[in-house]
């Protein structure tokens, strides 16, 4: 996610903006910029790369005099990381300038409309559309102009805006992206997040959706989208900077778990149009989709686990043969890639060495390659023939949660799209799947709010060793991810096992007190799973089950049960993963492990 800052007051703005952006660096970014108004002109400096570059470009702000300005750190979603795509963005005559955090979902439609009206664009961003839209509706009244664009934009935004004709006024507005404002000595500040303002004030106003703020060095006024003045109460922030960077959560991992509902929504909603799945970035015609003979999913770690889920969902829904492999094996086994094979490389970072090598080898063998990537402009995103982004935003914790959940969503969207085009599901079924998809964010939130129940269970097992995660079908796939979460942050050995495979040897390891987490969300496999749970329990295991609400029968075969809300059989991984993430997290916290930076691990494995 991007970070915005703004200042209007008696002091020089540029140093304050640069300082604020520095406090937002932890959010992850690929470029940065500031614009400052000296009363004559609005001057801007922006560049790809670290904030250091911007500090050098502006001599720590000295080259941009003026007491009102806006700044931005960009996490690219639309348009590669580059100088021209960095924010701020101007309208054509540089009389309006804007910074933006969020995704304008209908930006293409608005952009085409503006182009038809003669507007010229220089960047690939959705934010430049906002700058020209402000220009289009500007009638000398900034507040009215802002409300007009609010009625026309869809998606999420936190905007900082300056108008040349109003040299003493700074405007801000939000919908779905965070925005706070506060008073400083002789002025006002705006920011995406608390750490950027803590140096100036601990009393902030959290801006609600569709609220607009007009600030001068002496005043701060709040308005509704109907231009009605509104009263707001400030909130006193007790957090220290470290806690503030985590939004008050103890760890980035927990913060990112709680960002899953929004990340999931951001990933599917631009691709659901009425009752159809539209994935423009696929670059495939219906004929291309009908011509797919096989899908080869290649990835590492959690991304690989998402691919295993993808296999079950794509084969089940779209009836396309799917093979899944870990990139470090795939790249050295000289795989057979027949005509009509679509290779899908899944990667959060887009820089994983093995996955990148697998992509290059697949292309050399003549396969079409689709990247499913979280970091815009990363190597895998650039080298894939087509890329479908997960819009999880920057993920700081080494153990992935929200990016993985968005990879699952990408698998569902592909399966729904392919199944619809190939006629293996009806319009009615697609409609139901879309309804189920739309319910997932709230269901995830519900499970996250049930965290104390998981925490209580986890605290009993801090001394656990050799934990087993068992499941069948997609529940086997999610067991892999649950096991990895536990291993990588708590350092407890665990393994995921296809439940039906236990009796072929591994069950010999089960003894008194062995902890087994059984995932059973597939109704047609309940009975088989319950038998497996009874098998391990009679050998002394303690069983925690994750199952669907209403499957009470499981109580007789489990010592502890976590229920997940109702969804269709293909989407249960998105819900079952939540208690498993929480379980691994609370075990690691209870053991005093470094949850966000586990030993021996890196966020992006760019070496073999």
Of 2, 300, 406, 593, the active-site residue reads: 2
- Contact segment (CB under 6 A) with ligand AGP among 61-69, 234-242, 269-277, 394-402 equals 394-402
Of 269, 251, 299, the residue nearest 481 (C-alpha): 299
605 binds ligand AGP (CB under 6 A): yes
Closest distance between ligand AGP and the C-beta of residue 152, in Å?
36
What is the smallest separation between the CB atom of 266 and ligand AGP, expressed in angstroms? Answer: 18
Work out how close the CB of 372 gets to ligand AGP at its nearest, in angstroms, rounded to a whole number: 9
Residue 2 a catalytic site member: yes
Confirm or reject binding of residue 300 to ligand AGP (CB under 6 A).
yes
**CA 125/CA 424 separation, integer angstroms:** 36
The DSSP-derived string for 61-72 is TTTS--SEEEEE
Residue 128, C-beta contacts closer than 8 angstroms, at least 6 positions apart: 89, 121, 122
Nearer to ligand AGP, 150 or 605 (CB): 605
Q: Which is nearer to ligand AGP, 34 or 409 (CB)?
A: 409
Decide whether 352 or 547 has the Cβ nearer to ligand AGP.
Answer: 352
Sheet order of strands, 560-564 included: 494-498, 467-471, 515-520, 542-548, 560-564
Whole-angstrom distance, CA of residue 408 vs CA of residue 574 = 7
Evaluate whether 310 touches 325 at the Cβ level (below 8 Å). Answer: no
Among 400, 479, 521, 572, contact with ligand AGP (rule: CB under 6 A): 400
Binding of ligand AGP by 405 (CB under 6 A): no
Stretch of residues binding ligand AGP (CB under 6 A), selected from 117-125, 345-353, 503-511, 565-573: 345-353
Question: Does residue number 129 form part of the binding site for ligand AGP (CB under 6 A)?
Answer: no
CA nearest neighbour of 77 among 301, 300, 394: 394
Is 10 buried (19+), middle (13-18) or exposed (0-12) by CB count in 10 A? exposed
Of the listed pieces 90-98, 269-277, 295-303, 442-450, which binds ligand AGP according to CB under 6 A? Answer: 295-303
CB of 582 to ligand AGP, least distance (A): 15
Alpha-helical regions (H) of 314-450: 327-330, 353-364, 379-383, 402-422, 427-448
Asked if 303 is part of the footprint of ligand AGP (rule: CB under 6 A), the reply reads yes
Residue in 73, 302, 309, 362 binding ligand AGP, rule: CB under 6 A: 302
Does 478 bind ligand AGP (CB under 6 A)? Our answer is no
Q: Is 352 in the site for ligand AGP (CB under 6 A)?
A: yes
**Residues 42, 94 contacting (CB under 8 angstroms):** yes
Q: Which stretch binds ligand AGP (CB under 6 A): 68-76, 207-215, 300-308, 317-325?
A: 300-308
Residue 480: how many CA atoms within 13 Å on its side-chain side? 18
Query: What b/e readout covers 326-358, taking b as 16+ CB neighbours within 10 angstroms?
Result: bbbebbeeebebeeebbbbbbbbbbbbbbbbbb
Q: Which of 170, 172, 190 minimizes the C-alpha distance to 180?
A: 190
State yes or no: is 603 an active-site residue: yes
Identify any residues that bridge with 295 across adjacent strands, giving them in sequence order.
322, 342
For tokens 């600030």, what's the residue?
A: 215
CB of 103 to ligand AGP, least distance (A): 21
User: What's the CA gap between 181 and 169, in Å, rounded?
Assistant: 14
Q: Does 399 bind ligand AGP (CB under 6 A)?
A: yes
Report if residue 28 touches ligand AGP, rule: CB under 6 A. no
Among 69, 301, 335, 482, which residue sits at the site for ligand AGP (rule: CB under 6 A)? 301
C-alpha to C-alpha distance for 37 and 68, rounded to whole angstroms: 6
Residues in the chain: 608
Among 128, 266, 488, 596, interactor with ligand AGP by CB under 6 A: 488
Task: State the Cα–Cα distance between residues 271 and 105, nearest whole angstrom.
Answer: 9
- Residue 393 within binding range of ligand AGP, rule CB under 6 A: no
| Shortest CB 291 distance to ligand AGP, Å | 28
Q: Which is nearer to ligand AGP, 508 or 600 (CB)?
A: 600
Q: Compute the least distance from the CB of residue 303 to ligand AGP, in Å.
A: 4
Instruction: State in angstroms the smallest separation of the CB of 428 from ligand AGP.
Output: 35
CA separation for the pair 183, 362 (Å, rounded): 56
Among 180, 396, 398, 545, binds ligand AGP (CB under 6 A): 398
Q: Which residue is nearest to ligand AGP (CB)?
A: 301
Q: Pick the closer one to ligand AGP by CB: 53 or 326.
A: 326
Contact residues: ligand AGP, CB under 6 A: 300-303, 347-349, 352, 355, 398-400, 488, 604-605
């Amino acid at each position: 996610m991007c970070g915005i800052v703004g200042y209007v007051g008696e002091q020089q703005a540029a140093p304050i903006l640069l300082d604020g952006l520095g406090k937002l660096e932890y959010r992850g970014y690929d470029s940065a910029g500031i614009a400052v108004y000296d009363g004559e002109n609005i001057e801007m400096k922006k560049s790809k790369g670290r904030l250091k570059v911007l500090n050098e470009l502006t001599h720590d702000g000295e080259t941009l005099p003026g007491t009102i300005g806006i700044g931005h750190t960009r996490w690219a979603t639309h348009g590669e990381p580059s100088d021209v795509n960095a924010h701020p963005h101007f309208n054509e005559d540089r009389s309006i300038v804007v910074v933006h955090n969020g995704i304008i979902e209908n930006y293409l439609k608005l952009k085409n409309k503006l182009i038809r009206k003669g507007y010229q664009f220089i960047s690939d961003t959705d934010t430049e559309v906002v700058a020209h839209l402000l220009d289009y509706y500007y009638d000398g009244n900034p507040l009215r102009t802002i409300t007009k664009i609010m009625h026309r934009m869809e998606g999420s935004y936190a905007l900082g805006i300056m108008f040349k004709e109003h040299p003493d006024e700074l405007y801000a507005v939000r919908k779905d992206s965070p925005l706070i404002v506060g008073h400083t000595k002789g002025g006002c500040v705006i920011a995406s997040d608390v750490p950027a303002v803590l140096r100036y004030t601990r009393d902030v106003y959290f801006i609600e959706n569709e609220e607009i703020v007009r600030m001068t060095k002496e005043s701060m006024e709040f308005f509704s989208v109907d231009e009605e003045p509104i009263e707001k109460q400030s909130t006193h922030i007790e957090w220290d900077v470290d806690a503030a960077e985590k939004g008050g959560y103890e760890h980035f991992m927990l913060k990112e778990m709680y960002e899953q509902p929004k990340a999931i929504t951001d990933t599917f909603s631009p691709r659901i149009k009425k009752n159809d799945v539209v994935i423009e970035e696929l670059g495939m015609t219906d004929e291309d989709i009908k011509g797919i003979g096989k899908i080869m999913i290649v990835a590492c770690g959690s991304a690989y686990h998402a691919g295993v889920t993808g296999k079950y969902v794509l084969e089940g829904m779209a009836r396309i043969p799917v093979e899944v492999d870990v990139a470090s094996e795939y790249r050295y086994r000289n795989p057979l890639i027949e005509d009509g094979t679509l290779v899908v490389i899944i990667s959060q970072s887009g820089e994983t060495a093995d996955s990148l090598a697998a992509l290059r080898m697949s292309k050399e063998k003549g396969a079409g390659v689709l990247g499913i990537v979280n970091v815009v402009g990363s190597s895998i995103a650039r080298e894939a023939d087509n890329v479908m982004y997960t819009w999880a935003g920057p993920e700081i914790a080494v153990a992935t949660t929200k990016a993985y959940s968005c990879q699952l969503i990408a698998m569902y969207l592909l399966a729904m799209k392919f199944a619809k085009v190939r006629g293996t599901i009806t319009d009615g079924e697609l409609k139901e799947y879309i309804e189920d998809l739309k319910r997932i964010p709230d269901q995830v939130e519900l499970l996250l709010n049930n965290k104390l129940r998981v925490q209580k269970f986890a605290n009993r097992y801090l001394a656990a060793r050799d934990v087993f995660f068992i499941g069948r079908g997609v529940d086997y796939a999610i067991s892999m991810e649950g096991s990895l979460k536990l291993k990588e942050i708590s350092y407890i050995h665990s393994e995921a096992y296809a439940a039906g495979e236990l009796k072929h040897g591994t069950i010999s390891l089960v003894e008194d007190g062995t902890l087994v987490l059984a995932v059973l969300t597939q109704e047609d496999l309940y009975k088989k799973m319950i038998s497996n749970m009874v098998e391990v329990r009679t050998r002394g295991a303690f069983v925690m089950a994750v199952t669907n609400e209403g499957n009470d029968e499981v109580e007789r075969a489990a010592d502890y049960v976590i229920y997940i809300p109702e969804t269709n059989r293909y989407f249960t991984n998105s819900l079952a993963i939540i208690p498993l993430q929480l379980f691994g997290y609370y075990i690691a916290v209870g053991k005093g492990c470094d949850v966000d930076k586990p030993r021996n691990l890196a966020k992006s494995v760019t070496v073999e």
